[in-house]
Amino acid sequence: MLHQLPDVTGTGAAVALSATPVRVNWVKIQTNSKVHTNSSVVRVGDASVSATQGMVVDVNDSKDVNPASATNTFDLSQTYALIQTGDVIQVSYNQVV
């Protein structure tokens, strides 16, 4: 089932996309300049995501994140985004039950 998180506003620190475990089989991260004016790229990855490490989502772009394991799912609470202060992302995902 398709779900969306409330907009996530950056603080300059990496944040988990969920505070509780959520099994998903894909996530879409969007930086939409028609809704918010972002100034920097967003980095997405595991807990070690940083300004120099992680998948890059450019300003006014989107990326799909799919599982890379045989289980075909991953935990949204183990997926992190580094969003610069004041920038905003939109997150959609498909929850597996």
Give the residues of the chain that fall short of pLDDT 70.
33-35
CA–CA distance, 37 with 52 (Å, rounded to integer): 22
> Which residue has 């997926």 as its token pair?
79
The CATH number given to whatever domain includes residue 35 is 2.60.120
d(CA 75, CA 33): 28
**pLDDT tens-digit map of 23-50:** 999 999 999 766 677 889 999 999 999 9
Q: Which residue has the tokens 């920038």?
A: 87
Determine the 3-state secondary structure of 91 from DSSP. strand
Full residue range of the structural domain in which residue 63 is found:
2-95
Query: How much is the pTM?
Result: 0.89
Q: Would you give the DSSP letter of residue 31?
A: -
In the three-class reduction of DSSP (H, G, I as helix; E, B as strand; rest coil), residue 16 is classed as strand
How many domains is the chain partitioned into structurally? 1
